[in-house]
Amino acid sequence: MTKTEQPRTQWLGRWGFVLAATGSAVGLGNVWKFPYMTGEYGGGAFVLVYLVCILAVGVPVMMTEILLGRRGRGSPIDAIGRMASESGRSPAWSVLGWMAMLCGFLILSFYVVVAGWSFAYLWKMLSGGLAGSSVDDMASIFAANNANPWSLGAWSSLVAVATMLIVGKGVQSGIEKSVSWMMPGMVIMLVIMIGYGAFSGGFGEALTFLFAFNANSLSSEGMLAAMGHAFFTLSLASGAILTYGSYLPRQASIARTTLTVALADTLVALMAGLAIFPVIFANGLEPGSGPGLIFMSLPLAFQAMPLGTLFGILFFVMLSMAALTSSISMVEATVSWLTDNKGLSRRSAAWGTGIVLWLISTMAMLSFNVGAEWTLLGKHFFDWLDFLTSRLMMPLGGLGMALMAGFVLNRASLREELGLSPTAHGLWLFMVRYVSPLGIVVIFVDALGWFDIDFADHWPWLVLLLAAMTLLGELLRPGMKEAPSD
């Protein structure tokens, strides 16, 4: 099927995979989305549910993806196809790979627009274009920024070009090299921002907001949003982690690396909260102000603080770097597939992908101005891309991969690849067979909006359902004989 007989590239450094995968995971999702979602869904209780979702669904699915990538030695389509054949199953499973690759690509085509906002705001910070004295002023600056297709298009094209430049350079000298300075740089900037927040007067309030558990603020919608966000923030089911996993050396432990990446991603999200909320509270701004939170409230707050411009610049540099280390991971699956199967050089694969990306992302960008009226079923193109990927393709892909690992693949290969103790292996299997699928089906059903079920109120039923599924699943599991593990 493919002609990749030569050994696959591997990360150069010991930390190559962890840095690149953390770079992928840490992005706009952590610094832009997580804080505003926490603000909207009421703080500590949301944070707790999010942490549970990361552990119960995110970690097992991420382990599965890395396993598929490393053992299948390729981009999602090739790796999943090979894994299925290795277990004597139909190569049609590789449809999961096609979906993941497409999903990463589609995410990128709207992600570059949001990342473009970050670059545009960095420029505004540098050039003093963010002068205004009220939230309304900031809202009109935000609106004006989106209203001009030429400048908005230029910023998102810049992100697309930067992404393709890095990816075109290769796994080691492009991706690995860039993340190895951007990631530490980002963390240093975040720590400086937290340090500043600690003295800005709103730190105590921010701590309470993020970590005080108040069960009353826990809505069913918040729980579902937490689950969906766990997928997005860990870059799952979009080809990114799977393809990065295909460059992971054999001797690295999949479980340990996964836990490191998930922990780092979670810490950065919490740190972003600790950097942003003190500023919001100290300036009497509204934490639940939605997607515009960091673009409208923060610049206002930065103006009121001593050295605010400097911190504002730091903040938007950090956000732009976080976005870039994520965007490069979204096309790696496509670029890797093209170079492995179509005989293209990396550079041509990257630029070819870039041109298609540019066309789609331009359509997405136009949703904010000239194309605001071009809607289908009430959503414009940008919202469709977001909906199709985060609400449908990611949960479906994650479900498929979890079930594939849980029920379809040869158990001896899984055991060999993960190299876990029997108890830890059993726990992972239980997660990918029952816990993760149930969790995913719950978000999925909610996203479709066909039923009006309040899952938060009915959680004991979910526990019962999990128990019943486990019992049935273990009794009726298709008679997969244990292959001798020599």
**CA atoms within 13 A of residue 408's CA, in its CB half-sphere:** 23
* Among 22, 30, 325, 410, interactor with ligand PHE by CB under 6 A: 30
SS3 per residue for 161-191: HHHHHHHHHCHHHHHHHHHHHHHHHHHHHHH
Q: Does 27 engage in binding with ligand PHE (CB under 6 A)?
A: yes
Least distance from C-beta 300 to ligand PHE, angstroms? 24
Is 266 or 436 the residue whose CB approaches ligand PHE more closely?
266
Contact status: 228 vs ligand PHE (CB under 6 A) = no
Least Cβ distance, residue 53 to ligand PHE (angstroms) = 14
CB of 396 to ligand PHE, least distance (A): 14
- The verdict on 69 binding ligand PHE (CB under 6 A) reads no
Residue 25 or 113: which CB sits closer to ligand PHE? Answer: 25
Residues 94-153 interacting with ligand PHE (rule: CB under 6 A) = 104, 107
Q: Does 45 bind ligand PHE (CB under 6 A)?
A: no
- Contact call for residue 22 and ligand PHE (CB under 6 A): no
Q: How far is the CB of 435 from ligand PHE (least distance, A)?
A: 22
Cβ closest to ligand PHE, residue 157 vs residue 235: 235
Question: Least Å distance between CB 390 and ligand PHE?
Answer: 8
The phi and psi torsions of 7 (rounded to 5 degrees) equal: -60, 145
Is 81:91 a contact under the CB 8 Å cutoff?
Answer: yes
Contact (CB, 8 A) for 385 and 105: no
Residue 305 near residue 50 (C-beta atoms within 8 A): no
User: What is the rounded distance in angstroms from the CA atom of residue 348 to the CA atom of residue 153?
Assistant: 23
What CA–CA distance (Å, rounded) separates 225 from 239?
22
Alpha-carbon gap, residue 311 to 299, rounded angstroms: 10
**Smallest gap from residue 28 Cβ to ligand PHE (A):** 4
Please choose, out of 19-27, 254-262, 366-374, 409-417, the segment that lies near ligand PHE by the rule CB under 6 A: 19-27
CB closer to ligand PHE out of 163 and 238: 238
At 478, is the secondary structure helix, strand, or coil? coil
- Among positive and negative, which fits the CA dihedral 446, 268, 113, 237? negative
Distance, in Å, from the CA atom of 108 to the CA atom of 394, rounded to the nearest integer, reads 14
The verdict on 233 binding ligand PHE (CB under 6 A) reads: yes
Q: Pick from 231, 245, 236: which is nearest to 79 by CA?
A: 245
| Distance of alpha carbon 471 from alpha carbon 183, whole angstroms | 44
**Which 8-state DSSP code applies to residue 380?**
E
Among 75, 297, 320, 326, binds ligand PHE (CB under 6 A): 326
Q: Which tokens in the block code for residue 145?
A: 């920024």
The answer to whether 240 contacts ligand PHE (rule: CB under 6 A) is: yes
Q: Should residue 29 be labelled a site residue for ligand PHE when binding is judged by CB under 6 A? A: yes
Q: Quick one: which segment of 130-138, 141-149, 234-242, 379-387 binds ligand PHE (CB under 6 A)?
A: 234-242
Residue position matching structure tokens 């540099």: 317
* Tokens matching residue 51: 């942490």
Backbone angles phi, psi at 375, to 5 degrees: -120, 155
The alpha carbon of residue 82 and the mean position of all alpha carbons in its chain are separated, in whole angstroms, by 26
Binding segment (CB under 6 A) for ligand PHE, from list 80-88, 230-238, 287-295, 401-409: 230-238
Q: Does 25 bind ligand PHE (CB under 6 A)?
A: yes
Q: Does 28 bind ligand PHE (CB under 6 A)?
A: yes
Region from 28-36, 66-74, 296-304, 332-340 binding ligand PHE, contact rule CB under 6 A:
28-36
User: Which phi and psi angles does 65 have, rounded to 5°?
Assistant: -65, -45
Is beta strand 379-380 parallel, antiparallel or unpaired with respect to 375-376?
Answer: antiparallel
Stretch that binds ligand PHE, among 129-137, 167-175, 233-241, 300-308 (CB under 6 A): 233-241
Q: Which residue is nearest to ligand PHE (CB)?
A: 29
Smallest distance, ligand PHE to C-beta of residue 341, A:
21
Question: Candidates 23-31, 395-403, 409-417, 474-482 — which segment interacts with ligand PHE by CB under 6 A?
Answer: 23-31
**By the rule CB under 6 A, 320 interacts with ligand PHE:** no
Phi, psi angle pair for 466, to nearest 5°: -60, -45
The nearer residue to ligand PHE, 283 or 336, going by C-beta atoms, is: 336
| Helix (H) and strand (E) counts in the chain | 23, 2
By rule CB under 6 A, what count of residues binds ligand PHE? 16
Site string for ligand PHE, 328-367 (x = CB under 6 A): -xx-------------------------------------
Q: Which of 242, 225, 272, 299 is nearest to 45 (CA)?
A: 225
Residue 469 contacts by C-beta under 8 Å, 6 or more apart in sequence? 434, 438
Return the ∠ at Cα 59 (arms to 170 and 235), rounded to 5°: 40
From 11, 17, 23, 24, residue interacting with ligand PHE (rule: CB under 6 A): 24
Residue 320 or 329: which CB sits closer to ligand PHE?
A: 329
Residues lying near ligand PHE in the complex (CB under 6 A) are found at 24-25, 27-30, 104, 107, 232-233, 235, 238, 240, 326, 329-330
